[in-house]
C-alpha cells in the first residue's frame, strides 16, 4: 500500500488519463461529524463496460501490456475496506468512470491524506492536455480549484514556466 | 476563492510572454516523469516536485515537464526521460529528488547528460 491517500489519488487519476480523459474531477470530502472521509475521482475517459468494471479490483487483471498485474485499484480497495469503508466503480462504455472510496475518518488504520497540493500540482503541470477540478471539503469549509479558467487566462504560456509553478503552488497550499 | 486572483495570473502571463520574446526559449527541453503505480510507490511524485522546485527556484524557462504512465521497467523507478534540443531522448533510472536536481542543473541546463545514471530501454 502507498503511504498517503494523496498518492493513491495520483495513481487513480493516472488511470483516468490513460483512458483518454480530458477532464478529471477530484473530490476529497471530510465529514468529521459523520466520521467519514470520501475520495471521488470522476473522469470523461472512454469508460469500461460492466464486465471490465467488475474485474478491475482484481490485482491480476490489467489492461496494460507491459505487466500482468494492476495494483492501483486493488490497493485502494484494500485500504478502504481496512477502515470500514468501500470502493465503488461506476462506469459505462464510452461514458467515463467515477471511482468512489469511503473510509471511516477516525479509523486507526486510515492512512493520512498526505501532501495533496503536491499531488495536484504534479497532475496539473505534468498533464497539460487535461483539465482538472479539485474540491476539498472539510465539514462546512470548501475549497475549489479549476484549471479551465486558469488556462484560458494563461493562453500559450506553458504551465511549467517558473512563475506559473510558483503561482499554482501558492493557490494550492492556501486551499 | 483563492487569495491569488486572476489579476495576478494575468500579470504573470504578461511577464512570461515578454521573457520568452527576449530569450526565444520555447520548449527547448522536455522532461518526462513516469507516474505508474510502481513509480508512485518509489517516490516519483517527490522526484517530479524536485524538478519543478529547481525550475522555480533557478527561474529556468523553456522546459516542458510532463508525466507518463508505467513504462514497464518497474525495478528502475523513479524513471525520468530527458530530451534537450535536437538530441535524442535519454532515460534516467532510480531518480531520487537529489538526482533530479543534479540532472536539471547538469543536463537540462548545462547540456551534459549524467552517464552513470542512464538506463537503456
Q: From chain A, pick out residues whose CB is under 8 angstroms from the CB of B59.
A: 162
Query: What pLDDT score does A42 carry?
Result: 93
CATH code of the domain containing A123: 3.30.565.10
> For residue A111, what are the domain limits?
5-174
CA distance A52 to chain B (A): 19
Query: What pLDDT score does A59 carry?
Result: 77
| B8/A162 Cβ within 8 A | no
Average pLDDT over residues A148-167: 73
Count of domains forming chain A: 1
Q: From chain B, pick out residues whose CB is under 8 angstroms from the CB of A72.
A: 37
* pLDDT single digits (tens) A14-30: 888 888 899 999 999 99
Query: What pLDDT score does A27 carry?
Result: 94
Phi first, then psi: what are they for A119, rounded to 5°? -60, -50
Residue of B nearest to A70 (CA): B37
Residue of B nearest to A68 (CA): B72
CA distance A158 to chain B (A): 7
Name all domains of chain B by residue range, CATH numbers in brackets.
25-119 (3.40.30.10)
Q: From chain A, pick out residues whose CB is under 8 angstroms from the CB of B70.
A: 64, 66-67
| A67/B72 Cβ within 8 A | yes
CA distance B104 to chain A (A): 13
Query: What pLDDT score does A68 carry?
Result: 58
* pLDDT single digits (tens) A29-45: 999 999 999 999 999 98
* pLDDT tens for each residue of chain B, 121 residues long: 444 677 777 777 777 766 665 454 456 889 999 988 888 989 999 999 999 989 888 888 888 899 988 887 888 999 999 998 888 889 999 999 999 999 999 898 888 889 889 988 6
- Give Cα separations from A13 to A17, A41, B24, B25, B47 (angstroms): 6, 7, 34, 31, 18
Interface test with A, best of B7, B36, B43 (most A CBs within 10 A): B36
Amino acid at each position: 500500500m502507498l503511504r498517503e491517500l494523496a498518492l493513491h489519488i495520483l495513481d487513480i487519476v493516472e488511470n483516468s488519463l490513460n483512458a483518454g480523459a480530458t477532464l478529471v474531477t477530484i473530490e476529497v470530502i471530510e465529514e468529521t461529524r459523520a466520521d467519514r472521509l470520501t475520495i471521488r475521482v470522476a473522469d470523461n475517459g472512454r469508460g469500461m463496460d460492466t464486465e471490465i468494471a467488475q474485474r478491475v479490483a482484481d490485482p491480476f487483471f490489467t489492461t496494460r501490456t507491459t505487466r500482468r498485474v494492476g495494483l492501483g485499484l486493488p490497493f485502494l480497495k484494500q485500504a478502504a475496506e481496512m477502515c470500514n469503508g468501500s470502493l465503488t466503480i461506476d462506469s459505462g462504455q464510452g461514458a467515463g468512470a467515477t471511482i468512489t472510496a469511503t473510509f471511516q475518518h477516525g479509523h486507526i488504520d486510515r492512512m493520512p491524506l498526505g501532501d495533496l497540493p503536491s499531488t495536484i500540482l504534479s497532475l496539473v503541470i505534468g498533464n497539460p492536455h487535461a483539465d482538472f477540478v479539485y474540491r476539498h471539503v472539510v465539514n462546512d469549509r470548501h475549497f475549489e480549484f479549476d484549471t479551465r479558467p486558469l488556462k484560458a487566462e494563461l493562453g500559450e504560456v506553458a504551465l511549467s514556466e517558473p512563475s506559473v509553478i510558483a503561482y499554482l503552488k501558492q493557490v494550492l497550499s492556501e486551499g | 476563492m483563492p487569495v491569488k486572483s486572476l489579476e495576478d495570473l494575468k500579470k504573470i502571463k504578461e511577464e512570461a510572454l515578454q521573457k520568452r520574446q527576449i530569450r526565444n526559449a520555447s520548449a527547448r527541453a522536455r522532461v518526462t516523469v513516469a507516474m505508474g503505480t510502481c513509480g508512485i510507490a518509489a517516490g516519483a511524485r517527490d522526484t517530479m516536485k524536485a524538478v519543478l522546485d529547481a525550475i522555480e527556484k533557478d527561474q529556468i524557462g523553456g522546459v516542458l515537464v510532463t508525466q507518463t504512465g508505467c513504462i514497464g521497467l518497474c525495478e528502475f523507478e523513479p524513471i525520468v526521460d530527458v530530451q534537450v534540443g535536437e538530441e535524442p531522448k535519454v532515460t534516467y533510472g532510480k531518480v531520487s529528488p537529489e538526482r533530479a536536481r543534479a540532472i536539471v542543473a547538469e543536463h537540462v541546463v548545462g547540456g551534459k547528460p549524467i552517464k552513470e545514471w542512464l538506463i537503456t530501454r
